[in-house]
């Protein structure tokens, strides 16, 4: 396999953040010797998450075995996932915001037609449903654990307790028609065909769309990590990957 120098568009502060966490980790496990230093392991993990490169390519580039590359990345991802904020922590941190924006996104996976629970009728593809919360400026604040793609947004929001958490905190939340019937503090646009809505209702829906549309920036932030654009791993690992990316994003935003 040919090996060439390359780059990763991730800040050095993010690398230092992950390396510092990994530096303490081997001591907790009692590990004396490792093939890569904490800094190189951090770079290995960031390269995998940001560029989505397979383990064989990473192993060749870092001069280690494929199994070792997988083990080091998994170790770092689990460490990062454990640092991700819970929904309660995210809502508490956002309590001073004027409002929040909620939306769901589908993370594509490599499944076949037989895997119906993962097939999203809305997106016409297999994937995992992840709920995203952003602030009024479209900055990513929280991402939920992943559910099968066949799960609708309103059901996902209820299962994660998002609606109740926002209602208890008294935080107004803007969402699209996929959350019809949510209740609580969730604000939705008027339903119905556009030509059957009154002039006032049309104006409200235009304003609502402008506000709610900013959540797409948060979703784009999540998917700027190329690994999440087409997941080829076990579906049981996807939540950890999402939480790891969330932790890295929040750490670089501080």
Give the model's pLDDT for residue 253: 85
% of the chain residues with pLDDT over 90 = 75
- Higher-confidence residue of 75 and 27: namely 75
Overall average pLDDT of the 113-128 stretch: 82
**Of 57, 53, 139, 58, which is closest to residue 93 (Cα–Cα)?**
139
SS3 at position 242: helix
Give the lowest-confidence range in 4-13, 87-96, 158-167.
Answer: 4-13
Give the model's pLDDT for residue 115: 63
% of the chain residues with pLDDT over 70 = 95
**Of 83, 62, 130, which is closest to residue 102 (Cα–Cα)?**
130
Residue 96 CB neighbours (<10 A): 7
Overall average pLDDT of the 211-228 stretch: 95
Overall average pLDDT of the 210-218 stretch: 94
Read off the pLDDT band of 1 (50, 70, 90): confident
Average pLDDT taken over every residue of the chain = 91
* Cβ–Cβ < 8 Å for 47, 76: no
* Cβ–Cβ < 8 Å for 149, 128: yes
Which residues have CB under 8 Å from 233's CB, separation 6+? 241
Secondary structure of 93-108 in HEC code, one letter for each residue: HCCCCCCEEEEEEEEE
Spatial distance between the Cα atoms of 106 and 47, rounded to a whole number of angstroms: 22
Spatial distance between the Cα atoms of 20 and 14, rounded to a whole number of angstroms: 10
Spatial distance between the Cα atoms of 162 and 129, rounded to a whole number of angstroms: 14
- Higher-confidence residue of 217 and 124: namely 217
């Amino acid at each position: 396999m040919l090996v060439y120098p390359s780059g990763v568009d991730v800040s050095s502060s993010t690398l230092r953040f992950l390396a510092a966490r990994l530096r303490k980790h081997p001591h907790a496990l009692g590990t004396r010797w490792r093939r890569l230093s904490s800094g190189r392991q951090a770079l290995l993990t960031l390269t995998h998450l940001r560029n989505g490169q397979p383990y064989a390519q990473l192993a060749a580039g870092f001069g280690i075995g494929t199994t070792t590359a997988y083990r080091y990345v998994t170790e770092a991802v689990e460490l990062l996932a454990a640092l991700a904020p819970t929904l309660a922590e995210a809502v508490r941190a956002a309590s001073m915001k004027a409002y929040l924006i909620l939306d769901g996104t589908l993370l594509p996976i490599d499944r076949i037609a037989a895997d119906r629970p993962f097939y999203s009728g809305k997106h016409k593809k297999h994937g995992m449903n992840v709920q995203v919360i952003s602030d009024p400026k479209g900055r990513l604040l929280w991402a939920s654990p992943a559910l099968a793609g066949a799960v609708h947004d309103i059901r996902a929001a209820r299962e994660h307790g998002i609606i109740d958490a926002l209602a208890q905190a008294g935080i107004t939340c803007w969402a699209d028609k996929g959350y019809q019937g949510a209740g609580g503090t969730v604000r939705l646009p008027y339903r119905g065909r556009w030509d059957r809505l009154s002039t006032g209702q049309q104006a409200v829906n235009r304003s609502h769309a402008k506000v709610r549309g900013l959540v797409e920036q948060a979703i784009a932030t999540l998917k700027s990590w190329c690994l999440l654009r087409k997941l080829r791993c076990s579906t049981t690992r996807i939540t950890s990957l999402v939480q790891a990316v969330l932790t890295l994003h929040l750490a670089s935003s501080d």
